[in-house]
Amino acid sequence: MPDNPESREEQIQHEASGFAEDSNELYEHFRFRVDRGQALLRIDKYLMAKIENASRNRIQNSARAGNILVNGTVVKSNYKVKPRDLITIVLAYPPRDTEIYPENIPIQIVYEDDDLIVVNKEAGIVVHPGHGNFSGTLQNALLFHILRKPGASPDDKPYLVHRIDKDTSGILLVAWNELAQTKLAKQFFDHTIERTYTALVWGNFTEDEGTIDAPVGRDPRNRLIQAVSRDPSTGRHAVTHYKVIERFGYVTLIECRLETGRTHQIRVHMSHIGHPLFNDESYGGSVILKGTTFSKYKQFVENCFSLMPRQALHATSLGFEHPISRKHMFFKSEYPADLKAVIEKWRNYTVHPQR
């Protein structure tokens, strides 16, 4: 018997699991078509029955944030579900099972208020515990910070809304409460967050700017990295816009603006078009890909690698609407010392090439 299209439509459609391993955006998106025989029922109760491990508090926070829509219209948690309603909901990053302990780790605070904090993450720090990193993470440091604030409660904790790679430096946004987290999650889902990164990549570009629209998913040959995939079951929509900042002949400094936030997206996309990030070991950038065979040039590149023993990627700016005041917020981060040093070396080499 052939599949019934209407039956498939009524199934849970887990369209964008932002806290999955293939995304740096920490939210979940669900879409439901209500069955024809559904009796009138509060939408929070309906969604609790439909979404595994979704607490009533998480669902009601989504309602308060305006993240539950029925037939395209925002509804409250007491809305009564009707047959054939089309329901969409964006849920914030759920609490992890891993217990997190406060640790006195220095953090560079760019901005902070009662609802959120913006930090400038150093390279080498993991954002949250997991995959063998159960301490020494940014989340451990943030927990220590919030518990030391005047009037702090033992229940206070940081609420993540996105993440950047361990060896990527730069701007990161974290919420201080669930409502702020939920409202920010919707902005990431709607692609209204403004994000730019600076990257040093191998090779020269024929054009000054461009767009890479190529789905990204887990590399079937190496589960630790991502890859461009044309298989819809493994690859997810990913778009990166880039423009040239400065050319150094063998390498180029570029700005990248993200539409989507897949794990390793810039690193994967740049490698895909033949411009892997400088010293990116996972994606082929930690060897000499462009330049001469002269020993002085090889030594020069090796010196650059030593100066910056990580991929040359920095989260430069972040813009968003404040989840409570609705004021537009925008933050920029200066290049870290290692990236500055490598850029200066390439700038000098371009003027005074050595053989």
The torsion angles phi and psi of 76, rounded to 5 degrees, stand at: -90, 170
Instruction: Determine whether 231 is an active site residue.
Output: no
Start-to-end Cα distance in the chain? 72
| Pairing mode of beta strands 169-175, 313-321 | parallel
Closest CA to 76 of 63, 92, 65, 88: 63
In whole angstroms, what is the distance from residue 31 CA to residue 51 CA? 10
224 three-state secondary structure: strand
Amino acid, single-letter form, for residue 350: T
Distance of alpha carbon 282 from the chain centroid: 18
In whole angstroms, what is the distance from residue 242 CA to residue 257 CA? 6
Of 44, 85, 115, 165, the active-site residue reads 165
Element housing 198 (H / E) = strand 194-202
What positions carry a catalytic annotation? 165
